[in-house]
Structure formats: C-alpha cells, structure tokens
Structure 1
Amino acid sequence: MPSSGDVTIALAGNANVGKSVIFNYLTGADQVVGNWPGKTVDRAEGNFQYNGQKVHVIDLPGIYSFSTFSMEEIVSREYIANEKPDVVINVVDGSVLERNLFFTLQLMEMEVPMVVCVNQMDVAMSKGFQIDTEKLEKALGVPVVPTVAIRGEGLQKLIKKAIISVNDKKIPKTSNEYGGEVEKAVKQLHYFLETEKLDVGYSNRWVAIKLLENDPEINKKVELLSERSVQFANHLALELERIHDEPSFSIIASERYALANRIAAGAQKQSEYKITLSEKLDKILIHPFYGYFTSAMVILGLLIWTFVLGNFISELITNAMSFFQPVDPTLSGPVLAVLWNGAFGGLVAGLTLIVPFVIPFYIMLSYIENSGLLTRVAFMMDSFMQKIGLHGKALIPLILGYGCSVPAIDSTKILETRRERLLAAFAITFAPCSARTIIILSLVAIFVSIWWALALYVLDLLIIFIMGKLALKAMPGESTSLIMEIHSLRLPASSVILKQTWNRTKSLTYLVFPVFIAGSALIQLFYVLGVLEPISNFMAPLTVGWLKLPAFAGILLIVGAVRKEFVLLTLVSFVGTDLSLALTPVQFIVLALIGMLYIPCLSTISILIREFGVKAASAISAANLVTAIVVGGIAAHGLSLFM
C-alpha cells in the first residue's frame, strides 16, 4: 500500500481503450496482479517514480457505467468512493468518443479529481476524425491529453498533467446539464439531499442521479440514513416515467448519451469517411456465413500452434532432462525415492507442462485477444454457447481450457454471475487440456490411428455440449446477453504480449508447481509403502470388469489424479516404450478416453475449491468421474464388437 507521501492514480475507462497498455508503460516490471479483497475480480497495481516522488497506480476493471450489474462495476465505484485516489485518469477511445464519454460524465458526477486521456488518436485519424482536445477540455472542465499509448506518444505529458491535478486538488464541477424535466428532477433531489445532510461517500448530485435510476445499492445506503429521501426519489422517478413512458434508468441513460453526443459533436469533426482495413476484414470475420469458418480457423490455428510448437519444445526439454531416471526404492531407500521420484519428478512435470504448452498458448492467445480477433470469435459463437446457458464471452475461458484448466477456470472471472462462472468451469473440466492431449496423441494417434484420436476430440465436444445441457437443467436461471466491446483490429505491441503472458504464467506457476511437487511426492510415498497395489486390486471390478482394461490400470488412474501425463509415464515404466505389447487397440482408445474425462488433476481441483468452494468442486469432480466411467464402459463393450 502507498504511504502518506505517495501519489495514487487510478486508471478508469471502458474495456479495450488502452488502459493496460498505459499501466504497463508506467509500471514496467514493478506490478502485481491479484484479486480485490473479498472479490473474484482481477486487481492490477504497480509503482513508478516521477521527479523523486513515488506514484502508485491502480488499473481498474474496464467498465461502461457505475451500475451494480457486474462485480467489476461495483469494485470500481467502491474503490473510487472509499479509497479516494489522488487523481483518476479516465482513458477514452478517440475513435468512439461519444460512446466513451457516457462513462466520463458519470465520473464527473462523482466529483473526483480527474484527467481525461483521449487514446488511440491514430485510429481516430484513420477513420477521418479530427479531435480538438482544447475544445473538449473546455466543454468538460478537466484537463484533456491526446495519446497513442501503444507507441508511448503523449504519456509523459499525461503523467505531468495528472501530478499537477493532484497538487491543484481541483474537483471538477460540471456545467453540463441534462435536458428539461430530468435536470429539474436531479436538482430537486440534489437540494433535498443537501438539506437532509446526507453523506454516503459519494457526491450528492451523483447519489441523486443513482436514486432516480433506482440503483439498489445506493437505495439501501440512503434508506438507512433517510427513508424520506428514497420516498421522494421514487416520487420524482415515477413522475419522469409518466412523462416519458419508459423506465427511469432508461430515461437517465438517454439523457446521458444525448449530453455525450453534444460534447463529442462540439469537439470533433469528420472529414470524408474512410473505410479502414479493420472494417473491410470485419465483413468476413463477422459475416453471418463466412464468420463461422474464420472463427473455426482462429481456434484451430491456436490449437495447432500450441501442440506443434509444444511437442517440439517438450522433446527438447525431455532430452535436456534425460538425466532424470526413477530410482528403485529397494536399492536407494524410501526417503531418496520419495524425494527424487516424487518431488523432483513433480518439478520436471511442471516444467514440461508450462514451458512447452502453456507459454506458447498464452503468447498466441494474447495476440488473438489484443488484436481484437477473440471478441469477434466470441460474437460468432454466441448462439452456440447460449444453448448451454452461457454467452459468447464464455468461449474465451473454454479455449483457454485446451491449454490448461487452471488459468481457464481463473479467467471465468470475465463472466457476470457466479452461475455463469460455475457453468463455464464445469464445461472447462471436460475440455482436453495439453496434458490430456498428450495422452490422446501418445496412446491413440501413435498406436491406433490419427483418425481415432480426432474422433475422441469430436466425441469430447459432443460430451461438453450434453453435459452443459444437463448442468443447465441442474442450475436453472436466466442467462445474460452478450455485451462486449468489439474494437478495431490492430497489431498489438510485443512488449504488451510478453508482459501479459508473464503475468498469466506467473500466477499459474505459483499454484501448479507446489501441487505437482507435493502430489508427486505423496504418490511416490504410497508406492513405497505398498498402498497403491491393494487399491488397484480393489478397483479391478471396475477397471477389468467394466472397462476391460488390464489390472494395473487402477494404479494408472490413481497417479493420473495428480497430473494426467502420469498415466502415460507410469504405463511406460510398467511395460516399456512399446505399449502395443501390453494393450489392444480398444484398450488404447478406452484408456485415453478415461484419461480425457475422469476427475480433474489436483491443481484444477485446487482452483475449483478456491473459486467455488469444496461442495461445487466435489460435484464437478464427481460428474467428470461418472461420465468417464459410463462413456468408457460403453466404448469398451461397443468397440470390442468391431475391433
């Protein structure tokens, strides 16, 4: 936390306006990404020095209003109201100025010290917009700085203006008013709140507007202090609704957009409109027909990049660490066996997952995400995702699940409700992550055929859809509509991609490595103590009788609960590299199918417990296990008739 002599700057604005680029430029490597206290929303903060003074920066979540429809909106307004940063830098996209000013006006209503950063001026110019920032500054009554953050242009001036604003301690008093009866109602309620001497932590004008919008959180806070104020606000809101014949929150929103339009129209002019390359590409990317093909190509390209490059890097790491060979506990002693085979084996396993598969996946995902391609894919897939109770934005964590379930479940924070996050996490646990992919490729693609391996992927998609429908029936509720910013396509800066990849990989590493090392050591300890074989024999009616697998398959499934590749590694240690000597083609397919579907690995269960609690994590794990047993048994008996 910053000390009393530090300056605190909060970056606020819509999603995809360049806040994160500015944040990374200012803080460099001195940044921390975690969660807001008691919330599941990402909190990014960092520090930098300016003229010998320490500046603390908070990157608030990208939002469009200060409503209470999402956790991001709640934490942003609570931070500004309660923590009271020294200055708020409101970042707006110059190419869609009118739309972004809708949020700027709400910030001004909160009467916080602020500077407006008009970013992406290059994109605005490419669309034929010329923005007079001096006129905009005069209209808003706060400092305005034009920038092109991705190239670092104007950012030094922005910081200078922000620091000057802190020293001036100037609170914006907007002279911009709404029209007619709306402004009259706001002023009446504002005056009433002043006479009641209410203090709920926000400016009284902003509180008056939120009461007229019937904001539930503000209603609760005000009602505790003055029930008369809420009653008067309801009376004024009903009068507005009678005049306009629409809900009061819609009336306020319309007035705010009208005001934003007037301000934007006075500060910008447009020359002959130029169709940008981004708009030309969008005719294909979000076309009602071709868009599905391009979306499929983006997803397929991401997976091919990950697996082809991942397999190549994995081979290099495996060769480099070939000195690691399991030791025989009867020769070396149980303590050395547990430490070497278990703890060090877990470290090697973590490296062979994160370096070859997770890092390349995150690099490409960051490029797709920051370029704007991912939002277009989410838009195209919205109708499909709605069938399992989710919207297109849920496709983003689901795609992440093909790399690793842990960051995928972590990224469900972008969804609006706990129900949607839980449905998405449930679907993610069925997605074949890189570890499960290794099993499919190593068992089926090599020893049966590539076509059977692809068939397992198709079957997995069908299972995700069916289980998603069942989960939707178990958790009925109304799904939210897809609302997300589709910004212009652009080539992201490599520095931003690398920093974003590092932050994601860093948080994953802190969770995965301890679990892998501890879990591997525990499995090795069980092996040394002779616990695994009796358990495997106990499981024989299931593994041998129902699944038609060899007796040692029970041990494979036990060790695979720590990490899925352990199924393959343990199998090789049992029978050697020529696995065809121990398994039939049907057994290869069934073992890969079970490995793909049954309970998530320890690190995935850990994050499920962290995000949703033990009860939800147990239910999801049980659903995975039952599905694997049922589908695996059907496949074992069915394929035996044909193969």
Structure 2
Amino acid sequence: MEVRVALIGQPNVGKSSLFKALTGGDVRIANWPGTSVERVEGVVEYKGRRIRLVDLPGIYGFSATTLEERLSRDYILSGEPHVVVVLVDATLPERTLYLAVEALELTGNVIIAFTKTDLAHSHGVHINYELIQNKLKAPVVATSIVDDRGLNALLDKVLETASKPSGKPLLNLDYGELEPFVESVQRIILEHRVLANYPSRWLAVRLLEGDAELEERLLREAGEEVLNKVRAVRSEAQRIVGRDLAALTASKRFQFILEVLGSGIVKKKVAGGGFKYRFFYNPVLGPLASILFITLMFLAVFTINTGFPLNTLLSALGQEELAVAVENYSVSGLMEEYLGAVQEWVGGVVGNPVAASLIAEGVVGGVGTVLTFIPLILVVSLILAALEDSGLLPRMAIGAHYLTSKMGLSGAAIFPLTLSLGCNVPAILATRASISLRERLRLAITLPFIPCQARLIVLLALSTALSTFSSSLLVIAGYLSAFLAFITVNYALYRLQDKPRGRSPELLLEVPPVHRPVPRVLWWMVWSDLKHFVKRAGLVILSASVAAWLLTHVSTSLQLTLDPSDSVAAAVSRVLTPVLEPLGISGPGAWMVVFALITGFFAKELFISSLLVVSGSPTVRQATSLIGLTDAELIPLAVFTVLYVPCVATLSAIYSETRSARHVVLTVALMMVIAYAGSLLTRLLITIG
C-alpha cells in the first residue's frame, strides 16, 4: 500500500527544501480542485515501500481565514494522508511550533520534524529533542538538508506511524477558564451527532473561537437551532471571560509552547568566532593543534578512569608507589576493588560453590563489566559534549582534516580514532559526530582494529614470555600491524563506497561561535549517551557474561563442573586447534590457547587470565612454556590477539549504532580474515629471517 504523507509548515520553515531533499526533485505539480493553489507531490521509494509526499501550502495556523489554510485543514481531515509531518524551524522554535500544536490537537498521526538543525548551534539554540517529544507525546525528528541529517530517521518514523491506527488527537490542551464552555459545546455536538468527521473537542474549541467556515457547515448539517445553542454558549463564555476567545486560546497555546521549550531548549548569547582560534585553519598549525588537544584529552580521560598512561610514566621514572596509587585510586581501580569485595561476599554467603560461582562470576561479573564502562563513557561523553557545545570540536575537525583525508576520512574521524586507543566502545559512540552516514559506517566497522587498553595489557603480558625477541619491539609491532590494518581496510572501503562516485572526504559543517558550554546542555548529551549504552549494550554484555560462565562450567555430559578443562568450551577448543597449526601452535596444550582466544571475545583481558587458569601456571612465561610456545609462535599469536574479533561490548555498540546485524557480521569476518592473514605473514617473515 502506498503511504501518503502531508508535509506542512509555516512559510520559510524549510519545507520546500526538505521536500526536494526527500524526493530528489522528481515532483508532480497540479492545482487543488476548483482553485488556483498548487498541489505539489513527490514519491520516495524507501525500504520497499512507496511514500507519496504532498507538499501543502505554507500556513501559520488552521483558522481557515485563507484559502490555503482551509485546503490544508480539509486535506488533513479528509483521511487521505496516513501521516502528517509538521515542520518546525530549529532556529525559531517559539514561533514555528504553534502550527505543530494545532496539528496535534487536530489529528493523532503527527510527526514533528525540526529543520535547520545545522544552524541552531550557531544561533545559540540548544534543543533536547527527546524532552520535547515526551512533552508533546508525538515523534520528534531533527533534520538538516545540509548533511542529510535525520532524513532516513524521518522516513522510518513515517512508516512506523503509518502502520498504527491514527486514533484520537495526541494533544488536549487545558484552556483554563474556558474549559466548562468547551465541554458544553462538545456535549451539544455529540448529542446531535453532527460533523462527525471532526474531532469533537477540537471542533468545540474552533466554534468557540468563531470559526465562520465551521459555523456554515454546522448550519447546513444540523440547522439553525443547534448553531444558536453553540452561539449562546460562546456569548456566555465571552461575557464571563471578558476577552476575545480566539485571543485567549492562542495565548494558552503559546503558554504551552513556552512550557515545552522551557524544559527542552536552552538559548545562549553567542559572540564572534574570535581570531585566537584561527590557528585551527592553518595547514601546519591546524593538524598539530588538533592532535595536541585530542592527545591531552585522551590522557585526561584514561588517567581519570584507569590511571593509564600516567601510571606507566611514573613507573618509568622510578615512582613505583605513586604509580600504584594512581592506578588503585582511579575510577576503574576503585570499582574493581568494590566488585571484587562483592564477589567474595557472594562466595561466602552462598553455600553451593557452583551457584556461588554463577552469581559471582556470571551475574556480578557481567554487571561489573557494564559498570566499569559507565565511568569511561561518562567522562568521554562529558568532554565530547563540552567540545561540541563550546564550538571547539568543529575547529579541531578542520585542523585534522588535512591528515585524515589521506586515509579517506574527514577530520571529524580524529576523535573516535583517538578514543579507540583507550576503549573501542566510547569510540563507536563518538562516530555520531561523523559528517556522513557512509563514513560513520566505515568507522564503526574499522575502529575495532585500533588496539584498546585491554589489548595493550595482553601484548605486555605476552612480551614477558619472550626469550630472545625484544618485548618493546613486540608491542610496537602489534600497534603498527593494527594501524596498518585500520588504514588499509578503511581506505579500501572508501574506494569501494565513495571514490567511484567521485566523492572525496569532505568536511561540510557549521562552525558556530565559541562560547562557554552550558551545563544543562552537557547533561542532556551525557545522559543520552549513557542511557543509550545501558539500554542497548548493557543487556548484551550481561547475557554474554552468563553465557561465558555456562560454556566454561558445563561439561560435555551436561553436568556442572568447576574444572574448565572438562567444560564444553574446552571440548570446542580442542576441535578448533587445527586452525592454529599454520601459526605453529599445536600439541596437547594448543586447546588452552584456543580457549583463551574464545574467552577473549567476551573481554580481551580474559585472554591472559584464562590462559593462566587452564594451564595452572602463576605466570605467562610458565604457561607458554607448558604449552610449548616459542618466540616464533608467540609473536604471530600476539599479532592475532591484537587483530582478531572485538569484544562483545564493542560488537553490541556497533549494533546499537548501526542497527544492522550485517555490519556486525562484516566486522567480525574482516577482523578474523585480516588477523589470520597477518599472523601467517608474521610467521612467514620470522621463518625466512
């Protein structure tokens, strides 16, 4: 079935531009029957559905004082459109939201689309669309034709709304002292069963306002007696209220609009950009300044969260006690200590060792993993929000663009790229700052190649087991292979996606004036990111933690066991050992490496702990010696652990951002192939050398 959409908005709200952006300019123009007013229609093919957009004339309201207002109102009430999209100018929300409020009183299939959202920031307007959506009780979508922002989201909402019954109007405003008279007129309408195609409450309000066209229709359908009853109620209301009723209802609507915007919009006076930030535009100073800013942020974020890399620097300077203190009193250090105490308490309270293990390791461990990410996401989101709200982030992207464009990326990619060095999860979330959808998808797929802090821990642990090869060279080789994989895959995808279409990495963005971040706006942005992560990724991580416990504590005979070597995971690992033979890893202990790689999928740092548990060794050197791994096998293994599948938290973040299982599967497949190829190449080079 074709979905018909009425597109309506006040003049100069950006309606025609949005209509052209959605339809591609392929439109049909005719006149409304019996009038000289143009009716413009266009068709969009989206997700296998045909969507017909009808661009209604620009109007200020539904008072029907003009021909355009009557045509628009009649078309919406005709039942022909399945969805009504009302446009609101994000730079002038107080004025342009009035029509949306009237539409919400009229029908129940309304979507509010904010336009010109790319300009709002430069006007000092900060909008919390989620709060406004909750207040209006209708879908709200932020759009911009400059970078196609929100266009697909708008079409998704159109299909979703069209699939539901339109129902009653979404909004019933409280008209205060006029309410008793609204109820009286509504009662008259319902008793005489007239004008049934109009919502009775809306009709009552309009008749009290003195809508001449509706009075004529009421006279034709119900007769003069019913009309006189309505007029008598209106006269009494006019006498008691003591002011024009249309002016009263309009003031009530504007009062409601101010209440909605008061909670969902912050306006801040902005000044000029200022010459002191122009160095971001310099081809030499710009990239250096951007990298310096981001490096300092990276150091601040992860020092607060984990103590790294400040603890490593202090340790290198001989300040071991201070390094340990920085690590222990970091957010993650304190949380790890607390969760360890909780797990120990569970073990003491629950008598059954298997049940205690399930609760402590599976449930508490899963919740702990989610909680461990929360401080990191909070700090990262806060810094990113402050940079974005202040206007510095666009300038940093401009400064970095010269370098990143060589890799097929815009300058906006520099921030998530740097964040990945600490953790891939907040980096994936930060791809929302990407200018284009294509670049965002490429980053979501390729960012997991960048080694996070957990993979650094694995590299450092494996380096301690080397006997001849330099441990520092192993870490350097691991990072070089990871960055080479990221650049190569990203550039290859860029060549496939954009280069054939003649698209170069572009950085088309609004550069707003610099101003102090608004705390209220920062809270909106941080809370949105945090809620998004907990709702989407939290459940996946917790489920994966319990699943990992079951795999390692259920034997092949489906009996519970506390010996990992008898578990289903161990049995599967033994079957998969031939996969590692080309890397030189074979023999009776090879299954332990496979098992460690499997558990590393749930959390990369589990690779080392799992290797120690199943081998029964106190150190990595002893564990690798027991398995029979030489330097020639350890080095390819290190490369493999850096490049193979991301952790489950990263995969859940990719899915939550792309809403596509196909992209998750593509990420896993690419990383596995490249990890295997990179390890084989490393093995070959060692053999030749």
TM-score range, shorter chain: 0.5 to 0.7
Range 56-65 or range 614-623, more displaced: 56-65
Summarize the Cα distance change of 1:606–1:570 in structure 2 as closer, same or farther, 3 Å threshold. same
Q: Which amino acid aligns with 1:464?
A: F
What is aligned with 2:133?
45
CA distance in 2, matches of 1:563, 1:20: 42
What is aligned with 1:104?
none
Cα deviation, residue 327, structure 1: 6.9
Contact 1:587/1:636, CA 8 A, preserved across alignment: yes
In the alignment, which of 364, 373, 384 is matched to residue 365 of structure 1?
384
Cα deviation, residue 303, structure 1: 1.9
The answer to whether the aligner puts 1:472 opposite 2:512 as a matched pair is no
Range 446-455 or range 458-467, more displaced: 446-455
Cα deviation, residue 289, structure 1: 0.5
In the alignment, which of 590, 611, 622 is matched to residue 581 of structure 1?
622
CA distance in 1, matches of 2:111, 2:489: 47
The answer to whether the aligner puts 1:537 opposite 2:578 as a matched pair is no
Summarize the Cα distance change of 1:400–1:499 in structure 2 as closer, same or farther, 3 Å threshold. farther
What is aligned with 1:322?
340
Summarize the Cα distance change of 1:561–1:78 in structure 2 as closer, same or farther, 3 Å threshold. closer
What is aligned with 2:448?
429
Summarize the Cα distance change of 1:449–1:557 in structure 2 as closer, same or farther, 3 Å threshold. same
Percent identity, aligned pairs only, is 21
Cα deviation, residue 593, structure 1: 3.6
Deviations 1:297-352 (A, max 9, x none): 12212221222222122111112222225979xx9454543343222211112222
The answer to whether the aligner puts 1:313 opposite 2:354 as a matched pair is no
Q: Which amino acid aligns with 2:532?
A: S
Summarize the Cα distance change of 1:168–1:374 in structure 2 as closer, same or farther, 3 Å threshold. closer
| SS state at 2:602 partner | coil
So what's the TM-score if we normalise by structure 1?
Answer: 0.57
| SS state at 1:45 partner | helix
The answer to whether the aligner puts 1:420 opposite 2:457 as a matched pair is no
Range 415-424 or range 529-538, more displaced: 415-424
Deviations 1:58-83 (A, max 9, x none): 77536366xxx625257679999999
CA distance in 2, matches of 1:165, 1:586: 78
Contact 1:371/1:492, CA 8 A, preserved across alignment: yes
Q: Which amino acid aligns with 2:120?
A: V
| SS state at 2:515 partner | coil
CA distance in 1, matches of 2:436, 2:548: 37
What is aligned with 1:623?
670
1:453-492 equivalences under 5 Å are 453=475, 456-475=478-497, 477-478=500-501, 479=503, 481-492=506-517
| SS state at 1:288 partner | coil
How many residues align? The count is: 436
What is aligned with 2:358?
338
Cα deviation, residue 621, structure 1: 1.0
Cα deviation, residue 9, structure 1: 8.2
Contact 1:8/1:57, CA 8 A, preserved across alignment: yes
Q: Which amino acid aligns with 2:383?
A: M
| SS state at 2:274 partner | helix
Contact 1:427/1:468, CA 8 A, preserved across alignment: yes
1:147-546 equivalences under 5 Å are 164=251, 166=253, 278-311=273-306, 312-323=330-341, 324=343, 332=352, 334-355=354-375, 357-402=376-421, 404-406=423-425, 408-409=427-428, 412=431, 415=434, 419-440=438-459, 452-453=474-475, 456-475=478-497, 477-478=500-501, 479=503, 481-528=506-553, 529=555, 530-543=567-580, 545-546=582-583
| SS state at 2:133 partner | strand
Cα deviation, residue 525, structure 1: 1.0
CA distance in 2, matches of 1:165, 1:578: 73
CA distance in 2, matches of 1:432, 1:163: 58
Summarize the Cα distance change of 1:456–1:486 in structure 2 as closer, same or farther, 3 Å threshold. farther
Cα deviation, residue 631, structure 1: 1.8
Contact 2:369/2:541, CA 8 A, preserved across alignment: yes
| SS state at 1:532 partner | helix
Cα deviation, residue 290, structure 1: 1.0
So what's the TM-score if we normalise by structure 2?
Answer: 0.53
CA distance in 2, matches of 1:622, 1:78: 29
CA distance in 1, matches of 2:569, 2:384: 40
CA distance in 2, matches of 1:588, 1:315: 29
Contact 2:612/2:623, CA 8 A, preserved across alignment: no
CA distance in 2, matches of 1:543, 1:420: 34
Summarize the Cα distance change of 1:428–1:461 in structure 2 as closer, same or farther, 3 Å threshold. same
Summarize the Cα distance change of 1:300–1:410 in structure 2 as closer, same or farther, 3 Å threshold. closer
Contact 1:407/1:504, CA 8 A, preserved across alignment: no
CA distance in 2, matches of 1:603, 1:77: 29
| SS state at 1:321 partner | helix
CA distance in 2, matches of 1:162, 1:9: 21
What is aligned with 1:601?
647
The answer to whether the aligner puts 1:70 opposite 2:158 as a matched pair is no
What is aligned with 1:23?
127
Deviations 1:106-159 (A, max 9, x none): xxxxxxxxxxxxxxxxxxxxxxxxxxxxxxxxxxxxxxxxxxxxxxxxxxxxxx
Contact 1:358/1:505, CA 8 A, preserved across alignment: yes
CA distance in 1, matches of 2:250, 2:412: 37
Contact 1:422/1:612, CA 8 A, preserved across alignment: no
Contact 2:305/2:332, CA 8 A, preserved across alignment: yes
Summarize the Cα distance change of 1:455–1:15 in structure 2 as closer, same or farther, 3 Å threshold. farther
Q: Which amino acid aligns with 1:516?
A: I
Summarize the Cα distance change of 1:310–1:637 in structure 2 as closer, same or farther, 3 Å threshold. farther
Q: Which amino acid aligns with 2:645?
A: I
The answer to whether the aligner puts 1:559 opposite 2:599 as a matched pair is yes
Cα deviation, residue 407, structure 1: 5.1
Contact 2:139/2:157, CA 8 A, preserved across alignment: no
Cα deviation, residue 281, structure 1: 2.6
Deviations 1:211-258 (A, max 9, x none): xxxxxxxxxxxxxxxxxxxxxxxxxxxxxxxxxxxxxxxxxxxxxxxx
Summarize the Cα distance change of 1:301–1:454 in structure 2 as closer, same or farther, 3 Å threshold. farther
Q: Which amino acid aligns with 2:133?
A: E
| SS state at 1:488 partner | coil
Q: Which amino acid aligns with 1:485?
A: E
Q: Which amino acid aligns with 1:318?
A: E
Q: Which amino acid aligns with 2:678?
A: V
Deviations 1:589-615 (A, max 9, x none): 655543332112234334545626333
CA distance in 2, matches of 1:169, 1:346: 44
Deviations 1:161-201 (A, max 9, x none): 9974945999xxxxxxxxxxxxxxxxxxxxxxxxxxxxxxx
Deviations 1:539-575 (A, max 9, x none): 3334465064962111111112123232244245445
Q: Which structure 2 segments of 5+ residues have no match? A: 1-99, 172-247, 258-270, 307-329, 556-566, 625-629
Summarize the Cα distance change of 1:627–1:162 in structure 2 as closer, same or farther, 3 Å threshold. farther
Q: Which amino acid aligns with 2:509?
A: M
Cα deviation, residue 588, structure 1: 6.7
Contact 1:353/1:435, CA 8 A, preserved across alignment: no
Contact 1:405/1:429, CA 8 A, preserved across alignment: yes
Contact 1:11/1:58, CA 8 A, preserved across alignment: no
| SS state at 1:314 partner | helix
Cα deviation, residue 296, structure 1: 1.1
